[in-house]
């Protein structure tokens, strides 16, 4: 347990989230509601009740076991309003957690492949983000991910089709997710190169979640990508940690996800202290909050419970999180000013 003061401090700390799949914020309640609204029949063996589904989510055996549920559930997302509702529900929830900036993934291929047009998906998510900025002041960026379980050709098509939304500013970056085992990063060199050629500026990649530290090395050295989603397996190789520091790389770490997907058995096994000792920069994120037992603050609390950081340490992590963001310098300054205010308010209080 965290003390009430620690919880209040971590809630107040201005937080940025860089690793959250919007489809992974689809709570069982909204899932059943949208299935009903849209007349979607869910597999009755898997989707019996909210409680049963929540129990099943506590027993994922691997990334692929989770991905089965993650991909099945998307069937209920049909209309622009569905995507807007999903996005706004997430933003409302994290506003209460003290999130001030969100960089959000979505998987275009997963939607286009089942007949939902890209324009519907992007318009719905964008509306949810715009409404949240107007109402809560949370700034955001939208990042498309291509999925590793489909052929490279499909990823190339997906990157090409997203460019019209990059040009209008609705989409800001490219990531890569889904099954890691059997899909080493070098397989996707061409996809990232195409994105660069087309003018995509912000690049990130899920790497070193289940795959080895050597794949994080490849991601950095051969693909030239220095934002790494997860990257926790880097801690297995001190040379890779050194490479991450030398290249000023940034990891988006997801502690509760790593426990639910059995990367570690407990948050206390997270390599976060190793990253800090080595000087590797990272942020703390929820990944798929509806599936992994918590939103961004829950992840901060779990880290605090495991490692009992001081206020100053948390301040340093909050600064790294701001600096690792893809927002502009003015927004970074605003968030850092919020952080100064919080630190001043908490100057005389213990956590
Ligand atoms: O953590 C993840 N890893 C890979 N693919 C994913 N798709 C959603 N979340 C994840
Ligand atoms: Zn992820």
CATH number for the domain spanning 221: value is: 3.20.20.140
Task: Give domain status of residue 351, yes or no.
Answer: no
Count how many domains the chain has: 1
Q: How far is the CA of 20 from the centre of ligand 2 (A)?
A: 6
Task: Give domain status of residue 134, yes or no.
Answer: yes
pLDDT of residue 12: 98
Q: Is the CB of 257 under 6 A from ligand 1?
A: yes
Instruction: Please give the DSSP secondary-structure letter assigned to residue 31.
Output: H
Catalytic residue among 209, 221, 222, 350: 209
Predicted TM-score of the model (pTM): 0.98
Listing DSSP states for 250-319 in one string gives EEEE-HHHHHHTTSSSSGGG-SHHHHHHHT-EEEE--BSHHHHT--HHHHHHHHHHHH---HHHHHHHHH
Range of the domain at 233: 4-345
pLDDT of residue 344: 98
pLDDT of residue 1: 74
Task: Give domain status of residue 254, yes or no.
Answer: yes
Task: Give domain status of residue 50, yes or no.
Answer: yes
Q: Is the CB of 252 under 6 A from ligand 1?
A: no
Nearest to 156 by CA among 109, 105, 205, 120: 109
Contact present, 267 and 306 (Cβ < 8 Å): yes
Active site residue 209: yes
pLDDT of residue 189: 98
**DSSP H/E element including 20:** strand 15-21
Instruction: Please give the DSSP secondary-structure letter assigned to residue 42.
Output: P
The first and second tokens of residue 149, run together, are 């379980």
CA nearest ligand 1 atom 5, residue = 178
Q: Is the CB of 229 under 6 A from ligand 1?
A: no
Task: Give domain status of residue 85, yes or no.
Answer: yes
In the chain, which residues have pLDDT < 70?
Answer: none
Sign of the dihedral through C-alpha 119, 168, 84, 114: positive
Q: Is the CB of 260 under 6 A from ligand 1?
A: no
Q: Which ligand is nearest to the CA of 288?
A: 1
CA nearest ligand 1 atom 1, residue = 287
Task: Give domain status of residue 237, yes or no.
Answer: yes
Contact present, 13 and 314 (Cβ < 8 Å): yes
Q: Is 288 annotated as a binding residue?
A: yes
**What's the rounded Cα separation, in Å, for the pair 230 and 213?**
11
């Amino acid at each position: 347990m965290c003390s009430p003061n620690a919880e209040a401090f971590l809630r107040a700390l201005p937080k940025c989230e860089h690793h959250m799949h919007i489809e992974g914020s689809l709570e069982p309640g909204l899932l059943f509601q949208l299935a009903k609204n849209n007349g979607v029949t869910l597999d009755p063996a898997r989707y019996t009740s909210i409680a049963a589904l929540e129990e099943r989510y506590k027993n994922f055996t691997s990334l692929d076991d989770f991905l089965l549920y993650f991909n099945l559930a998307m069937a209920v997302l049909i209309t622009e309003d569905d995507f807007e509702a999903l996005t706004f529900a997430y933003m409302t929830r994290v506003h209460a957690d003290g999130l001030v900036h969100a960089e959000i993934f979505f998987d275009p291929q997963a939607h286009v492949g089942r007949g939902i047009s890209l324009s519907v998906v992007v318009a719905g998510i964008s509306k949810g983000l715009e409404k949240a900025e107007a109402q809560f002041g949370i700034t955001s960026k939208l990042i498309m991910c291509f999925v590793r379980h489909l052929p490279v050709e499909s990823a190339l098509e997906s990157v090409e089709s997203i460019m019209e939304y990059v040009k209008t500013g609705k989409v800001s970056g490219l990531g890569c997710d889904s099954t890691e085992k059997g899909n080493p990063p070098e397989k996707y060199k061409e996809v990232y190169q195409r994105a660069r050629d087309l003018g995509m500026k912000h690049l990130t990649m899920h790497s070193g979640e289940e795959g080895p530290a050597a794949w994080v090395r490849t991601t950095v050295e051969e693909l030239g990508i220095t934002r790494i989603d997860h990257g926790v397996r880097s801690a297995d190789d001190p040379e890779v940690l050194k490479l991450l520091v030398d290249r000023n790389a940034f990891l988006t770490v997801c502690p509760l996800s790593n426990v639910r997907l059995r990367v570690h058995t407990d948050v206390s096994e997270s390599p976060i202290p190793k990253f800090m000792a080595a000087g590797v920069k990272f942020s703390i994120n929820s990944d798929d909050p509806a599936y992994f037992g918590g939103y961004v603050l829950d992840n901060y609390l779990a880290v605090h419970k495991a490692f009992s950081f001081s206020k100053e340490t948390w301040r340093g992590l909050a600064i790294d999180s701001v600096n690792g963001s893809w927002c502009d310098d003015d927004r970074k300054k605003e968030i850092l000013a919020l952080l100064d205010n919080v630190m001043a308010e908490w100057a005389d209080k213990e956590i």
